[in-house]
Amino acid sequence: MTIKILIADDEPNQIELISYNLHQAGFEVTSAADGQQALHMAENILPDIIVVDWMMPIMSGIEVCKILRSMAETKDIPVIMLSARGEEGDKTLGLDIGADDYMTKPFSPKELIARIHAVLRRSRPALTQNILEYGSLRLYPAKKLVERDGHRVDLGPKEFRILALLMERPGQVFSRTQLLDHVWGHGIYIEDRTIDVHMSRLRKALEKNAKDKHQPDLIRTVRGSGYALSEPD
């Protein structure tokens, strides 16, 4: 799966340097020039990780991080804080308000990439090829394999990516637009109905491999909002 990164920094040269190196490392990169724009983009594209500068116009990186942590849709997105402020108190403040890591400028692109991988290993296991488990489900990202109650579940690539996303954040409701952005990519136009079709296929595949055919559906439809993964009572 392509990892989506949002970079928020008001320095164009910094954005260009970081974006180039992250693209070279295989990441999908989106950028924002101020804190307000970063928040708007985070809500709309739900990146896998956010790299945000402390000092930005309109809204600082500290404020951005606080708001991200207060919203249900973005509270679990990992954040790396960048800053020219290297004092211990500043690092502590950055981590206390919810940042997952803190890097002092200047830094090398290689170090940033290594920090991104380290944060994702802790927070997004499906992106770093670990096993995801939820109830009777087991998902193996590296093998592109899913099991339910010990039986293999045959899924298409889109259904696999949808399930991986839902299993990473069980209980979180994803809108159709958010699922389209995560699975098909931001900016690609596909009708919302496409998600419903793939959800139907995913449900049928999971139900077919359930040990108890009468247990409730794992995929919950939230009317007017989207879909979420819910464990049967």
DSSP symbols for 33-77: SSHHHHHHHHHHH--SEEEEESS-SSS-HHHHHHHHHHSTTTTTS
CA atoms of 79 and 100, how far apart (whole Å) = 5
pTM over 0.85: no
Predicted pLDDT of residue 126: 66
What's the fold here for domain 4-123? Rossmann fold (3.40.50)
In the predicted structure, residue 151 carries a pLDDT above the cut 60: yes
Query: Mean pLDDT over residues 219-231, rounded?
Result: 85
Write the pLDDT tens digit of every residue in 37-63. Answer: 999 999 888 898 999 998 888 899 999
Residue 74 has which token pair? Answer: 């973005």
Long-range contacts of 32-37 (CB under 8 A, 24+ apart): 32/6, 32/7, 32/8, 33/8, 33/9, 34/8, 34/10, 34/58, 34/59, 35/8, 35/59, 35/60, 35/61, 35/63, 35/64, 37/8
| Average pLDDT value for the chain | 85
Write the pLDDT tens digit of every residue in 113-140. Answer: 999 988 988 777 666 666 888 888 888 8
Domain 132-229 is of which CATH architecture? Orthogonal Bundle (1.10)
Predicted pLDDT of residue 50: 95
Write the pLDDT tens digit of every residue in 1-37. Answer: 578 899 999 999 999 999 999 999 999 999 999 999 9
Domain ranges of the chain: 4-123, 132-229
